[in-house]
């Protein structure tokens, strides 16, 4: 509770008591003025009114608790709110919080232990903040005791479905994604929104790390060999295509080499004497016919 509110309430009680005492009795214990005594009602009324007003700071929600009804599911938003004098209001921050777990140990499908550092960023869902108060009273209790347990459980649930080489190698991102979704659902039931799950420095010892590195090298070699094979295949296909294109071009050129074109080419090389015929007895060509 705000210190100024407390001081104001104490002051109102003192003023009310003083006015009642002064108005009722003098120094000899004799009754004096009722009017002065009635003035004591004013600070008492102000005291009661102060009990009905609560201020919720920014980045917080108010959780109303009543001795008759317990924790209310309806949270109080930022600003001034009205409540009954006997109700209490507890504040729950809604800013982004962070929890780091230095050493999380989980076991893989093939019975290998993996160690990592985990960081969880989260914030309380404003609408469901009453769940946090009802179950844990303060956000700090949730942060210290629940977040780390849920994070470890989520990672463990996912990692046990994979072999160690998959967890640290090719399927690492898949493991992270699944663990994030699992933790998101667990925190949602607590009225908390997961902002980010970060898993870093995940390792299983030097021997496993070497095996993963060797596998990566072998995989790279296979990929390189496959790329070379595909390149050679493509080059061969290109050569075939080029050869076919050249053959087609020659066929077109042959078709274009008509008798008239041949005659024109012959004329370009003519030395001035035009024979009437050209060829042997079996195949005689009339040059005149060619240039008609």
pLDDT in tens, the chain (292 residues): 556 556 655 666 666 666 555 555 555 544 555 555 555 566 666 666 667 778 888 899 999 888 788 888 888 888 888 888 788 889 999 999 999 998 888 888 988 888 889 999 999 998 899 999 988 988 888 888 899 999 999 999 999 999 888 888 778 889 999 999 999 999 999 999 999 999 887 777 666 666 666 666 566 666 676 777 788 788 788 887 877 777 777 677 666 666 666 666 666 666 666 555 555 554 445 555 544 5
Neighbouring C-alpha atoms within 13 Å toward the C-beta of 101: 24
């Amino acid at each position: 509770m705000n210190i100024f509110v407390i001081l104001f309430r104490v002051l109102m009680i003192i003023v009310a008591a003083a006015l009642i005492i002064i108005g009722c009795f003098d120094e000899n214990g004799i009754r004096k003025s009722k009017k002065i005594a009635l003035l004591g009602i004013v600070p008492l009324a102000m005291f009661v009114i102060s009990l009905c007003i609560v201020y919720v700071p920014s980045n917080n929600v108010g959780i109303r608790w009543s001795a008759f009804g317990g924790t209310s599911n309806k949270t109080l938003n930022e600003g001034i709110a009205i409540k009954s004098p006997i109700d209490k209001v507890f504040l729950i921050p809604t800013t982004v919080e962070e929890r780091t777990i230095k050493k999380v140990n989980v076991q893989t499908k093939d019975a290998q232990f993996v160690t990592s550092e985990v960081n969880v960023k989260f914030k309380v869902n404003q609408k469901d903040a009453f769940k946090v108060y009802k179950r844990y009273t303060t956000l700090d209790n949730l942060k210290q005791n629940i977040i780390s347990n849920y994070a470890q459980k989520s990672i463990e649930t996912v990692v046990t479905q994979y072999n160690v080489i998959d967890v640290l190698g090719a399927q690492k991102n898949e493991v992270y994604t699944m663990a994030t979704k699992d933790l998101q659902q667990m925190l949602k039931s607590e009225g908390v929104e997961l902002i980010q799950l970060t898993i870093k420095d995940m390792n299983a010892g030097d021997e496993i790390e070497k095996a993963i590195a060797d596998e990566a090298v072998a995989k790279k070699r296979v990929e390189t060999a496959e790329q070379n094979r595909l390149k050679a295949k493509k080059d061969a296909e290109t050569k075939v295509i080029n050869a076919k294109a050249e053959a087609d071009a020659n066929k077109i050129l042959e078709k274009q080499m008509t008798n008239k074109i041949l005659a024109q080419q012959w004329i370009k090389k003519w030395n001035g004497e035009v024979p009437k015929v050209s060829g042997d007895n079996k195949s005689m060509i009339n040059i005149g016919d060619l240039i008609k």
